[in-house]
């Protein structure tokens, strides 16, 4: 997780130690690396905790020896040398307790980038230097008890803040831990346990019941139910049989399976997800840049206000001690601590939570912009519908050619296609136990179908649009249901028959469209399918409108049209033929990419093709943005109130904030921001 370039948080203080929360250095898919990462950060948390307790113990005698506290409780415990004991104890607090802040101050000066550590370091040094001068002869009252309580509260604030940061990054750690560290490699003579990161493509691994799958691959033998919920958000275990794909990190049910590995651990789906989450957590969004700017300004305001406050009080006749105290309090209150955390904590939490729910954020700005969406364009097949075309009828239009021959010739062409229609035809061929002939000179007719030479005949499988374009007449008795998609078979350019396929509407689609309506978001169906099918699906689901028989390159134009009418458009597609449209849309959402998450043009990838996930994404985008704005308000709001009080605006009414009270306010603001970020949830 990345914090500001401008404002250091406590996770960045010890630059020289290998403790910065940089997930990019970890070896994905290897647990020890993550353990080391966690260990480093834990060591820093423990260091702050230890410093806090040492300062806490020393603060009691410091307070009891302080003249002001004694005066306040009505005692006089001064004795010879008491001021030197006070000086000695306070020096330990300043150098030991204040060390992380002093070091951070030096680092910021070196980097010519003054920020929060600069402010804290400056404030405690002024307080300490002035108090030491009092002990050695300057007249006035020392600041030692304020110094001790200030450092104590600062250490507590940083300790709590770091625990929050660790919490926000925990989800990423959990993703890393999904990958088992060992796998059972199947050798010709035995099963051998090997480290997961040594597995290569085409290795065969055994996954026993209850174990995690160690690598992406295809089941070679056996069948089982696999729980992929941590990876895809799909709560029900999925049945997997021979030939099915499995994802690394999925938990095996009660069957034993052998898996042929499709790529090494570092290229696995899970590793890519971890890398994506990591990069998204580090990527700066518009809100982050706004927070950076605000924090930078707050640093400048702190220094100017602090010095201005000091000069005002000192030059209007107040004591040096009073003027110093006001300056220290103003500077402490202004520390843009909470502001430095406001957005990064929400970013870390939201990105990791999304990944757990099957929403992979590649572009933070696209995710934040999802709250502005006014229109969603849905690709039909596989998103609103199941995407499994099943052959509903085969009709021959030529004597001497039966239904089996129609589907046999069509299957030769579809063997090379991954389109859902092809899958449906091949499934039917398998059921009928028909042998598929080979095809040569295969050629795809963009958006219209495919053609090839099969058994020395030119065979084409085409859409109704192709027939229209080539003025091929459709027979009078041709009938197709509104929900059916029809492809025609041409043999040597003659219409020979047709195959009708239908695709079921997903049970979740209607609910998703209804939720969008409730949120005043229009839903539009965009499909290459015929108008009747599109109209039927659109009507059943209660969508706002539809666009049918749209070729891939035309999808881009349709999106542009909507944008020119002032709509903020999200496009959902499968990332292949929809790539241009996904790129031009305000928010591109690639759906159903399964284990291939390299849908380069989309800002967001949905692991499942579930339309409810699209709705969840928008609602979660809105919730995340609300959290960021709430945090920015908390982080800056207290400054607006506390800064004038610290500067002494209401001094004439007897209202004045002490440095310790300023530090308490600053810490409370930071803690509120951290807790608020941790309350973020994905509604499902």
Active site residues: 379
CA 147, 153, 156, 158 torsion-angle sign: negative
Would you say 188 and 133 are in contact if contact means Cβ atoms under 8 Å apart?
no
Would you say 565 and 371 are in contact if contact means Cβ atoms under 8 Å apart?
no
Strands 494-502 and 390-396, by their bridges, are antiparallel
Would you say 341 and 487 are in contact if contact means Cβ atoms under 8 Å apart?
no
Spatial separation of the C-alpha atoms in residues 53 and 46, rounded to whole Å:
11
| Angle at CA of residue 492, ends 487 and 495, nearest 5° | 40
Spatial separation of the C-alpha atoms in residues 41 and 59, rounded to whole Å:
27
Q: Which residue reads 């994404």 in tokens?
A: 617
Please state, as a whole number, how many other Cβ atoms lie within 10 Å of the Cβ of residue 344: 27
Token pair in block for residue 495 = 């219409």
Helix (H, G, I), strand (E, B) or coil at 225: strand
If you ran DSSP here, which 8-state letter would residue 211 be given?
Answer: P
- What contacts 24+ positions apart, CB below 8 Å, involve 138-142? 140/319, 140/320, 140/321, 141/67, 141/68, 141/321, 142/66, 142/67, 142/83, 142/86
For helices 611-647 and 509-518, give the axis angle rounded to 10 degrees.
Answer: 30
Please state, as a whole number, how many other Cβ atoms lie within 10 Å of the Cβ of residue 620: 25
Q: Give 103's contacts (C-beta < 8 A, 6+ positions apart).
A: 13, 14, 117
Q: Give 357's contacts (C-beta < 8 A, 6+ positions apart).
A: 233, 613, 616, 620, 682, 684
Spatial separation of the C-alpha atoms in residues 576 and 601, rounded to whole Å:
9
Strands 522-526 and 375-379, by their bridges, are parallel
What backbone torsions phi and psi does residue 465 show, to the nearest 5 degrees?
A: -60, -35
Per DSSP, helices labelled H in 80-142 are: 82-92, 99-110, 116-135
Radius of gyration, alpha carbons of the chain? 33
Q: What is the dihedral of CA 141, 145, 150, 151, to 10 degrees?
A: 120
Q: In angstroms, how far is the first alpha carbon of the chain from the final one?
A: 26
What backbone torsions phi and psi does residue 222 show, to the nearest 5 degrees?
A: 95, 170
Please state, as a whole number, how many other Cβ atoms lie within 10 Å of the Cβ of residue 77: 12
| Angle at CA of residue 473, ends 471 and 479, nearest 5° | 135
Token pair in block for residue 414 = 């579809």
Instruction: Give me the numbers of helices (H) and strands (E) for the chain, helices first please.
Output: 21, 22
Please state, as a whole number, how many other Cβ atoms lie within 10 Å of the Cβ of residue 242: 12
What backbone torsions phi and psi does residue 195 show, to the nearest 5 degrees?
A: -70, 140
H or E element, residue 378? strand 375-379
Cβ density class 427-443: b for 16+ within 10 Å, e for less: bbbeeeeeebeebeeee
Per DSSP, helices labelled H in 476-610 are: 509-518, 531-541, 552-564, 579-584
């Amino acid at each position: 997780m990345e914090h500001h370039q401008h404002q250091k948080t406590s996770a960045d203080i010890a630059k020289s130690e290998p403790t910065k929360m940089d997930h990019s250095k970890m070896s994905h898919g290897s647990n020890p690396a993550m353990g080391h990462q966690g260990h480093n950060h834990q060591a820093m948390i423990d260091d702050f905790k230890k410093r806090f307790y040492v300062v806490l113990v020393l603060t009691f005698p410091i307070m009891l020896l302080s003249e002001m506290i004694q005066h306040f409780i009505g005692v006089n415990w001064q004795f010879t040398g008491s001021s030197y004991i006070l000086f000695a104890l306070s020096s330990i607090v300043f150098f030991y307790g204040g060390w992380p802040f002093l070091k951070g101050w030096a680092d910021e000066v070196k980097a010519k980038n003054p920020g929060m550590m600069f402010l804290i370091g400056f404030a405690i040094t002024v307080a300490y230097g002035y108090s030491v001068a009092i002990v050695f002869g300057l007249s006035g009252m020392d600041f030692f008890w304020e110094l001790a309580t200030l450092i104590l509260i600062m250490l507590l604030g940083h300790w709590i803040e770091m625990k929050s940061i660790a919490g926000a990054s925990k989800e990423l750690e959990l993703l890393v831990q999904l990958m088992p560290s060992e796998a059972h490699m199947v050798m010709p003579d035995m099963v051998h346990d090997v480290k997961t990161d040594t597995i290569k493509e085409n290795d065969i691994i055994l996954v026993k019941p209850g174990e995690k799958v160690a690598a992406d691959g295809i089941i070679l033998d056996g069948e089982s139910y696999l729980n992929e919920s941590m990876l895809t958000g799909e709560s029900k275990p999925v049945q997997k049989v021979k030939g099915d794909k499995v994802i690394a990190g999925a938990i095996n049910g009660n069957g034993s399976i052998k898996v042929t590995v499709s790529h090494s651990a570092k290229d696995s789906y899970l590793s890519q997800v971890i890398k994506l989450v990591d990069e998204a957590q580090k990527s700066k969004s518009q809100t982050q840049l706004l927070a950076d700017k605000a924090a930078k300004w707050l640093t400048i305001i702190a220094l100017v206000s602090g010095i201005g406050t000091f000069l005002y009080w000192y030059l209007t006749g107040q004591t040096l001690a009073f003027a110093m105290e006001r300056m220290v309090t103003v500077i402490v209150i202004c520390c843009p601590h909470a502001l430095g955390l406001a957005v990064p904590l929400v970013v870390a939490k939201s990105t990791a939570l999304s990944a757990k729910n099957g929403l992979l954020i590649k572009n933070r700005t696209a995710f934040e912009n999802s709250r502005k969406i006014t229109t969603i364009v849905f690709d039909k097949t596989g998103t609103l519908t199941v995407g499994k075309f099943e052959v509903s009828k085969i009709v021959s239009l030529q004597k001497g050619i039966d239904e089996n021959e129609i589907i046999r010739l069509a299957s030769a062409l579809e063997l090379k296609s991954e389109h859902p229609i092809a899958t449906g035809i091949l499934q039917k061929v398998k059921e009928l136990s028909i042998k598929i002939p080979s095809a040569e000179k295969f050629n795809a007719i963009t958006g219209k179908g495919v053609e090839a030479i099969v058994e020395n005949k030119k065979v084409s499988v085409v859409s109704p649009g192709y027939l229209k374009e080539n003025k091929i007449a459709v027979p009078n008795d041709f009938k197709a249901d509104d929900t059916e998609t029809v492809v025609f078979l041409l043999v040597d350019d003659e219409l020979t028959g047709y195959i009708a396929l239908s695709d079921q509407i997903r049970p979740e689609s209607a609910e998703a469209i209804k939720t969008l309506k409730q949120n005043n978001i229009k839903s539009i169906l965009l499909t290459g399918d015929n108008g009747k099918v599109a109209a039927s699906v659109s009507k059943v689901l209660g969508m706002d409108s539809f666009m049918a028989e749209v070729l891939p390159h035309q999808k881009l134009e349709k999106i542009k049209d909507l944008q020119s009418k002032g709509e903020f458009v999200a496009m959902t597609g499968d990332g292949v033929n929809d790539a241009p449209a996904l790129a031009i849309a305000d928010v591109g959402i690639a759906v159903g990419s399964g284990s291939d998450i390299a849908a380069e043009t989309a800002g967001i990838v949905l692991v499942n093709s579930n339309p409810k996930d699209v709705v969840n994404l928008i609602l979660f985008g809105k919730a995340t943005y609300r959290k960021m704005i709430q945090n920015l308000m908390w982080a800056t709001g207290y400054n607006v109130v506390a800064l004038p009080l610290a500067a002494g605006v209401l001094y004439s009414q007897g209202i004045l904030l002490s440095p310790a009270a300023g530090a308490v306010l600053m810490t409370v603001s930071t803690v509120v921001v951290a807790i608020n970020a941790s309350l973020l949830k994905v509604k499902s």
